[in-house]
Amino acid sequence: MPSGKTGRRVASAVASVEQKPAARPIAIILFGSPGSGKGTQSKYIVEWLKIPQISTGDMLREHIRRGDEIGRAVADRMKAGLLVPDELVNRMVFERVQQPDCERGFILDGYPRTLAQAEEMVSVLDVRGTSQVVIHLVVDYNVIISRMSGRRVCPKCGTLYNAVARPPKVEGICDLDGTPLVIRDDDREEVVRERLLQYERQTRPVIEFFRATIDRVIEVDASGAGPEAVFERIRGELREVLGQDRIR
Ligand code: ADP
């Protein structure tokens, strides 16, 4: 366990970034239920800050697509909407953040998702001297259900569409490469229910740990507004945290 919020305050993102811009890398942790828009907001932040998005869901799906050892180990659990083992995702994330493109910082999308993952993340990032900020996307349960039931994905480029919020120009076809859209295996109704249950049980409680451990936990209401408006809110908050001079 880390030593707690007060003990870590000297190392806070704000203090160090203000005194020495760009001196420390930053981890932007996007936290929220399935369907809260973490993936969509990650893409906006990538574009803006030019730091990579680390999506554990995408990485795991890539392993399944390749049919490698990790893919074979997680496929059944993912299909059923269950979380995969903590040690496996922890290892995957910590290998990824050592890549050179993560030097200035990175976005964590879909990680951490359990208390054990969160504790491990905070201790590893503290040791590496990486500042941490949590963006909690807060979305009404009914909105989540309607968003997820209309979700389609391009199997080729991974672009997400939604029947209501973000329909493709031609129904059922990817705008970018013309590939027919599909329903992701784990977006089927009974699996969505299981994923939301897992979120309530295992993931939502992690926010309390963040509040006690990380200086910057930012709540963003992501229910009513469209994705661009939500991004503007996130950008406003992040500008303050990062300090104007470090970012565009
Ligand atoms: P969503 O956030 O919409 O549920 P993701 O693409 O992030 O979708 O995750 C899909 C699935 O991948 C999860 O249901 C789970 O099986 C697995 N997964 C992703 N990230 C993690 C994680 N940090 N810990 C455990 N399992 C994970």
User: How many beta carbons lie within 10 A of that of residue 226, not counting itself?
Assistant: 11
What amino acid is encoded at 210 in this protein? F
CB 37 within 8 A of CB 99: no
CA angle 131, 134, 137 (to 5 degrees): 160
Q: What is the pLDDT of residues 123-177, one digit of tens each?
A: 999 999 999 999 999 998 888 888 888 889 999 998 889 887 789 999 999 999 9
29, 43, 56: which to mutate for ligand 1, most atoms within 8 A of CB? Answer: 56
Sequence-ordered alpha helix ranges (H) in 82-222: 86-96, 115-128, 141-149, 189-198, 206-213
Question: Whose CA is closest to atom 14 on ligand 1?
Answer: 81
- Give dist(CA 139, CA 221) in Å, integer: 6
Residue-range domains of the chain with CATH: 5-140+203-246 (3.40.50.300)
Q: What is the pLDDT of residues 72-128, one digit of tens each?
A: 999 999 999 999 999 999 999 999 999 999 999 999 999 999 999 999 999 999 999
33 in ligand 1 pocket by Cβ < 6 Å?
no
pTM (2 d.p.) = 0.84
Q: How far is the CA of 166 from the centre of ligand 1 (A)?
A: 22
56 in ligand 1 pocket by Cβ < 6 Å?
yes
